[in-house]
Structure 1
């Protein structure tokens, strides 16, 4: 009897818990103050919720309205977690966040408490089923909603799109693309990581994140987006904030890194609207971003997600269309003169825009491939990534890149290496660290078909059967072959970076096809070149010997990487360089074998510049006798001169001088300073 009574009590408690509890005084007689606070919070949340839903209907950016509504709703949820309508609204807020997976339990709870709590519940039941990959179930919910929804507005276009997505998703998941899609843990946090943009060789990445920073969070506890960088060694390094005044106190969203890595497009708030800016890399610092032409960054619309085209004459970007209620649309603007940066009136790109939000976009350096994210077209749900190809000067209708690149969640942004083997996207799919995470896409390439082999066992050939190798006729794939040409310009002796001007010439035509300056802090450069040509490279830097060479990229070569270290010879009179890689035995003037590489570079310089005259000087710290130090430094300088003489350098071009401890370059009060003072130097005395 006692056991039966216990079961009855448990049953009653369970039924009570599953019942919808309205925010009425009759249900909370003992806590009227709590009820008042909860209903006040709901009223405040409803104000933000209404504005957010209006933006959704108009395919416009809803900003922080759903986040603001959620903050208020959660106050009421703590007071009463068993209200169907409140659970539904919380679910909708999560559905319109960067973490839509959180919407699933709230929408399902709302259904259990009261399946008629809101006319849109069936739509969001379809949405959450779609997120879970239950496409048939989602389609049923969408159909029920479609049958019962009688309002004469434009919301049905969302329903129709969702139903199509369910069909598309099943088709794509049944035939997945040959690739891996992996979360990159070192890049991601529980916050949002978006907008990956990589150098053409795939070794450097720019991204944006609203992870905690030195600024104050807003009223919702959210930090502003800042722009970070990461380098690929064995793995991607932990992102660090970019140096220089590129980041502001508002959201700064990286859009596109130029193919040579020297410029960047970004968007940020500018007087209450979003505009596109450009920053340039000088040394290690990114410049204060400058707003782009009025034809791109208008004073009436929001513009974002810009990218360069392959030759630098155009900029593609996205602009909100608040007239047609189709969300953001892809536009482009071209220049008449690169030096003047005189952009023309922007034009909408025909053939790639849908009836929903389109963008971000990325144009591959081949100039023939545009990757575009869109909520429209033939998608799987949320934003999907599509590919459009340039055919006879026109961009084709975007084609979905398929599963697992795309999912029922938001999958957008796309940054590819020059060879197309790897790409990076941003997605809020389930299983990440939280919010939007950055994922690496590794393409496997076309499937290799096995050779079909048959054996004809004729009587005359039993011992040695005749084998028939049937191989399908190969299909020629026309692909633009590109080679990444990267490297550094350094001083041949000091090995320090040198800022230099480089000209790349097509030797067949004699035409200079590219002129650029290497980075002043690192000496780095990176460009891409077409196959099937012989190229000349000319390198100039003030005070350095002119450097030139040529190299071939054979026809049909693809996925090549030319990585050069260009050593420049310093010929400026008065130039003085410490030879840090020349080593002697302790308290002796005997050169050690580890010195040979440094000495051979000096030999080569003297041979390359026959008129060069130098002084080799030896220096010590102040430990011990000044006389002995001077003698030792003289002997060591003479040892270097002797080595050069043995290698064919005329003794008349060299002098040896020992200065002992008389010319320190650092303090002798600590071991680090003494180490710096113990050195061998050469100084150019004539040329």
Structure 2
């Protein structure tokens, strides 16, 4: 419990021992013997002697008080409360501080209504010292929150993830890829005995793959190079695209502090040797609980370094334009009491974490906050009771779809120690439903697999939602695709024309996509359809969301300074051919004008309208007509 609570316990005990409330010397003698046994931490003997003292005088107050303290120390809370209440029953004025002590135990044991009464009684009798006012107010807030939360429980039916994941040892701190096919977690393992015969316990990282029947397969130890023979590796996160692994390792020669964050990259299906992520993230203190944003640009983690707000804080490091990590910053959601275990969802905006400094059920509770478009955070929301309880809840993640959550618990009925459980998240605390695009990048002509930069960009905000690189060995990539937004997908590589695709998901049912991405080398005659350039119906004014893709074209032209292109406008066959021809010319000119406004020399550009004369598919369906209404560019001169 809290530092104020511990100080009060000492004060409440020692303030009551100066004068005995009995005159029976035999009772006092037993009590004094019991005090000595307590000081020697012989609790069993101390309990026996206190009870013998009470047999000699049932109204002897001090033995009840010491028994209350003793039972509290060995975490037998009901017996502790019983003895504290007996003290106040004998003498309600004995020590008003005991009302505070009782209230703390009641809060700790989910007796919220009783805790409110006793906190208020303590405040009425003694007042609250100014240095502890903030802490006391939080305790009262916790009691009130807990009392209301118990009356209004949220749905919660946790299911053990089974023996393919859990063992008789501890399993905890999970993460999951955006395709929901790889589940990673930390597990403890008994690896033998020490020289003294004590068990040697080691932390390692494990993974499980989802089978064709949608079940999790038997977990597998990552082994080298991620896991090592003699060190502990734990508290990890696999990136949403499955390409990177961030994890915690302690007391290594390459570390900056007691525990540091390390990173490994998967190339061609194999993990590379892990490297320390550097001193912009790691410090001389303790870092753990990493979580990488789906755009790969932000790493959230827990640290107890100086300069924060509490004993543990959540920090974030962002990458600069060159891909280097910047100095970590303390998040605005932190409190003075402690915040830990951040998890940024695949939607890129929903952050789950644990906090001890916000109204909750009494200790660390699970919260959710959302990142606004301006980068600030919404007011954190408690996940509710009974997801949160009077105990510590440290860490929860949500699957990409946002329906299931995963967490660790040592609740009864498991396989032993901490087990991993899944449960359905209440609607109000779910993230944005997110699926994925699974792609394969290759050279169109040679069919050789290519590593290329892949970006998914929100067309409304122009924010990069996901950024990754296709594997240089197999050309594969995986990106998050949050629902109810419209996106541009851009794939680019030096020496090649960029690949453009569009995903309009507003108001539509979302499903995963598989994509073949043939990359075309820059040479005269090659063309690209700009799938994210938009106009109002029958008009040639560019819609604002067109800027995202046109700016990509601007960058390509600036990087290839000798390149000359022709902008081509095309329509479907609906309406008057003459009007279609004019509209296509105007639209091509609008695109050219925008490129010039962004610093591209007009001598490198030309525009041409084709009307409905060059369809790329049939005009017999609306889908076909939509494809024929297009803007493209063609390389004129390399």
TM-score scaled by length of structure 2: 0.57
Q: Report the Cα distance in structure 2 between the residues aligned to 1:128 and 1:26, rounded to whole angstroms.
A: 23
Q: Report the Cα distance in structure 2 between the residues aligned to 1:114 and 1:297, rounded to whole angstroms.
A: 51
Q: 1:397 to 1:502 in 2, by over 3 A?
A: same
Equivalence for 1:451: none
Alignment of 1:237-248 (within 5 A): 237-248=217-228
**Residue 390 (structure 1) aligned with residue 371 (structure 2):** yes
Given that 2:296 and 2:468 are in contact with CA atoms closer than 8 Å, whether structure 1 keeps it comes out as no
Given that 2:406 and 2:422 are in contact with CA atoms closer than 8 Å, whether structure 1 keeps it comes out as yes
Equivalence for 2:603: none
**Residue 293 (structure 1) aligned with residue 264 (structure 2):** no
Given that 1:189 and 1:211 are in contact with CA atoms closer than 8 Å, whether structure 2 keeps it comes out as no
**Residue 484 (structure 1) aligned with residue 436 (structure 2):** yes
**Residue 344 (structure 1) aligned with residue 326 (structure 2):** yes
* 2:182 aligns with one of 204, 213, 218: 204
Given that 1:107 and 1:121 are in contact with CA atoms closer than 8 Å, whether structure 2 keeps it comes out as no
SS of 1:205 mapped into structure 2: strand
Deviation at 1:403, TM superposition (A): 2.3
Q: Report the Cα distance in structure 1 between the residues aligned to 2:183 and 2:134, rounded to whole angstroms.
A: 37
Deviation at 1:128, TM superposition (A): 4.8
Given that 2:347 and 2:480 are in contact with CA atoms closer than 8 Å, whether structure 1 keeps it comes out as no
Q: Report the Cα distance in structure 2 between the residues aligned to 1:154 and 1:508, rounded to whole angstroms.
A: 48
Q: Report the Cα distance in structure 2 between the residues aligned to 1:90 and 1:283, rounded to whole angstroms.
A: 58
Equivalence for 1:326: 310
Given that 1:229 and 1:239 are in contact with CA atoms closer than 8 Å, whether structure 2 keeps it comes out as yes
Q: 1:244 to 1:504 in 2, by over 3 A?
A: same
Q: 1:136 to 1:179 in 2, by over 3 A?
A: closer
Which structure 2 segments of 5+ residues have no match?
1-26, 51-65, 443-447, 494-498, 519-638
* 1:560 aligns with one of 511, 519, 527: 511
Alignment of 1:414-453 (within 5 A): 414-427=396-409, 436-443=418-425, 445=427
Q: Report the Cα distance in structure 2 between the residues aligned to 1:20 and 1:519, rounded to whole angstroms.
A: 81
Deviation at 1:434, TM superposition (A): 5.8
Q: Deviations over 1:524-582 (max 9, x none)?
A: 7532236645868899xxxxxxxx99896654335422357999xxxxxxxxxxxxxxx
Deviation at 1:264, TM superposition (A): 1.9
SS of 1:256 mapped into structure 2: strand
State the Cα RMSD in Å: 5.0
Alignment of 1:150-549 (within 5 A): 157-178=134-155, 180-186=157-163, 187-189=165-167, 191-214=169-192, 216=194, 223-233=201-211, 234-248=214-228, 249-270=230-251, 273-282=258-267, 286-299=271-284, 301-320=285-304, 326-339=310-323, 341=324, 343-350=325-332, 352-391=333-372, 392-427=374-409, 436-443=418-425, 445=427, 482-486=434-438, 501=451, 516-518=469-471, 525-529=477-481, 532=486
Deviates more, 1:290-299 or 1:114-123: 114-123
Q: Report the Cα distance in structure 2 between the residues aligned to 1:281 and 1:410, rounded to whole angstroms.
A: 34
* 1:137 aligns with one of 104, 108, 114: 114
Q: Report the Cα distance in structure 2 between the residues aligned to 1:279 and 1:136, rounded to whole angstroms.
A: 50
Equivalence for 2:557: none
Q: Report the Cα distance in structure 1 between the residues aligned to 2:190 and 2:111, rounded to whole angstroms.
A: 36
Q: Report the Cα distance in structure 1 between the residues aligned to 2:98 and 2:356, rounded to whole angstroms.
A: 21
SS of 2:184 mapped into structure 1: strand
Which structure 1 segments of 5+ residues have no match?
1-18, 28-34, 44-72, 95-102, 448-476, 491-497, 540-547, 568-687
Equivalence for 2:558: none
Number of corresponding residues? 451
Deviation at 1:164, TM superposition (A): 1.5
Deviation at 1:426, TM superposition (A): 3.0
Q: Report the Cα distance in structure 2 between the residues aligned to 1:508 and 1:202, rounded to whole angstroms.
A: 23
Q: Report the Cα distance in structure 2 between the residues aligned to 1:396 and 1:87, rounded to whole angstroms.
A: 43
Q: Report the Cα distance in structure 2 between the residues aligned to 1:113 and 1:189, rounded to whole angstroms.
A: 44
Equivalence for 1:646: none
Given that 2:351 and 2:368 are in contact with CA atoms closer than 8 Å, whether structure 1 keeps it comes out as yes
Equivalence for 2:528: none
Q: Report the Cα distance in structure 1 between the residues aligned to 2:44 and 2:405, rounded to whole angstroms.
A: 43
SS of 2:149 mapped into structure 1: helix
Q: Deviations over 1:313-351 (max 9, x none)?
A: 222222225577721122222222444x2x22222222x
Q: Report the Cα distance in structure 1 between the residues aligned to 2:198 and 2:99, rounded to whole angstroms.
A: 30
Q: 1:143 to 1:273 in 2, by over 3 A?
A: farther
SS of 1:386 mapped into structure 2: strand
Which of these two proteins has the greater Rg computed from alpha carbons?
1
Equivalence for 2:55: none
Q: Report the Cα distance in structure 1 between the residues aligned to 2:29 and 2:516, rounded to whole angstroms.
A: 73
SS of 2:263 mapped into structure 1: strand
SS of 1:402 mapped into structure 2: coil
Q: Report the Cα distance in structure 1 between the residues aligned to 2:472 and 2:362, rounded to whole angstroms.
A: 43
Q: Report the Cα distance in structure 1 between the residues aligned to 2:364 and 2:191, rounded to whole angstroms.
A: 28
